[in-house]
Amino acid sequence: MIFTVDIGNTNIVIGIFKGEELIKHWRFSTSKKKTSDEYGIKVRSLLRTEGIEKEDFRGAVISSVVPSVTESFSMAIRDYLDIEPMVVGPGIKTGLPIKTDNPREVGSDRIVNAVAAYRKHKSALIIVDFGTATTFDYVNEKGEYTGGAIAPGLEISAEALSQRTAKLPRVEIGKPKKIIGKNTFESMQAGLFYGFLSMTNGIIEKIKKEAGGTPKVIATGGIAKIIAVETELINEVDEFLILEGLKIIYEENI
């Protein structure tokens, strides 16, 4: 089995692969305050509920955009699974040429998503990851990562709206019944949802125009399903794209 970990700014997602199959996955909140022992105990508890022992694993791989948590979680894997984890970063083979000004500054999550998407589709792609930030990444038909766009995520936008205004509340993310809200809550929900949807469509269309051709659009991340059903520009939702990419990268480097 392979133990895969995606450490994001908001959530940590763990996936367990047995052969080619993702047999189990968990999602919990990212915390910079947690110690390696706290993460280790949590991991061991999750595995034991499924009857999985540390001896069942032949490797572990991590993608992280939170450096302080990377070290804590790596130590947890060493101490509680007796595995030296592979951490995606400079020096790790991905098989994906990165054609940007500074390849080292591209987030590992964006590269891992691109690796998995291109391996599966073998065509030009736009990968949209709806996370804490919303990222739009373009991979050309030759399998080269050429760059993309980064925008605030929907959750960040909702938080900013309530925190930076005196009278506006924190609203639940979701599709409103109407675009013309009859009260403050409905108006905020409509503005956030349809504003975000319009941004998503607009950036996808501009990338397509600039890149040329007809790239396939793959969506992933927490709210991908909510947005995907509202637009014809997203061709497919792949919830566990990054976990699959981590497994691919692990196999490329052993």
pLDDT, tens only, 17-70: 999 999 999 999 999 999 999 999 999 999 999 999 999 999 999 999 999 999
Comparing 175 with 168, the larger pLDDT belongs to: 175
What is the pLDDT averaged over residues 229-236? 96
| Eight-class DSSP state of 37 | H
| Tokens, residue 167 | 């009278």
HSE (side-chain half, CA atoms, 13 Å) at 238? 23
DSSP string, 42-76: HHHHHHHHTT--GGG-SEEEEEES-HHHHHHHHHH
> Mean pLDDT score of the chain, rounded to an integer?
94
What global pTM score does this model have?
A: 0.92
How does residue 185 score in pLDDT terms, banded at 50, 70 and 90?
Answer: confident
- 177 forms beta bridges with none
204, containing H or E segment: helix 184-211
Go through the domains of the chain in sequence order and give each one's CATH number: 2-87 (3.30.420.40), 103-244 (3.30.420.40)
The CA distance from 191 to 173, in Å, is 11
Rounded Cα–Cα distance for residues 51 and 110 (Å): 32
C-alpha distance across the termini of the chain, in Å:
14
Active-site residue flag, 101? no
CA 169 vs. chain centroid, Å, equals 27
List, for residues 130-161, the tens digit of each pLDDT value.
999 999 999 999 999 999 999 999 888 888 88
> What is the greatest pairwise CA distance in the chain?
58
Instruction: Tell me what pLDDT residue 164 has.
Output: 81
Q: Please identify which residue in the block is written with the tokens 């981590």.
A: 246
d(CA 103, CA 106): 6
Active-site choice (109, 129, 137, 238): 109
Going by pLDDT thresholds of 50, 70 and 90, the confidence category of residue 168 is confident
Structure tokens at 77: 């894997």
